[in-house]
């Protein structure tokens, strides 16, 4: 249970840090130029999604590899990251009138890559420290 709590907590921290820095520091102008974006996002819904995704990722790694390594955590996180980012980076700009499709893809793909690589390393580390009989 400890590895799941730590993994979910790590996902929330990494996601909030990466996406927060992308949205509110590095790419402020990009996100401000999107006409359909809320001026003040509903943070509670974002945190709820992070909790759900973190739970799915930690349980998926346990089901996939009960004795996981850092590499296993990284590979699983990247697989989920590619799955999620493909929609965010490619489908959303096809549905919404974004100022620049190329910028949208670059920004969302880069943030997702950083987020899921960082989390994958942490996820694998946490799971490698808590083997099945210690979970």
Tell me the domain boundaries of the chain: 2-134
How much is the pLDDT for 119? 98
Specify whether the CB–CB gap between 18 and 123 falls below 8 A: no
1: helix, strand or coil: coil
For residues 107 and 114, give the distance between their C-alpha atoms in angstroms, rounded to a whole number. Answer: 11
> Encoding tokens for residue 24?
């509110």
Local confidence pLDDT in tens for the 135 residues of the chain: 899 999 999 999 999 999 999 988 999 888 888 877 777 889 899 999 999 999 999 999 999 999 999 999 999 999 999 999 999 999 999 998 888 999 999 999 999 999 999 999 999 999 999 977 654
How much is the pLDDT for 133? 65
> Encoding tokens for residue 26?
């590095």
Specify whether the CB–CB gap between 40 and 75 falls below 8 A: no
Sign of CA pseudo-dihedral 73, 78, 83, 88: positive
Predicted TM-score (pTM) of this structure: 0.90
């Amino acid at each position: 249970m400890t590895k799941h709590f730590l993994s979910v907590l790590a996902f929330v921290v990494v996601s909030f840090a990466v996406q927060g820095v992308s949205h509110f520091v590095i790419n402020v102008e990009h996100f401000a130029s999107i006409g359909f974006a809320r001026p003040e996002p509903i943070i509670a819904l974002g945190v709820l999604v992070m909790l759900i995704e973190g739970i799915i990722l930690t349980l998926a790694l346990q089901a996939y590899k009960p004795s996981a390594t850092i590499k296993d955590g990284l590979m699983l996180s990247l697989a989920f990251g590619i799955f999620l980012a493909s929609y965010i980076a490619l489908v959303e700009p096809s549905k919404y009138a974004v100022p620049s499709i190329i910028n949208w893809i670059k920004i969302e793909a880069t943030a997702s890559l950083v987020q899921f690589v960082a989390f994958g390393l942490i996820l694998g580390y946490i799971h490698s420290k808590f083997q099945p009989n210690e979970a």
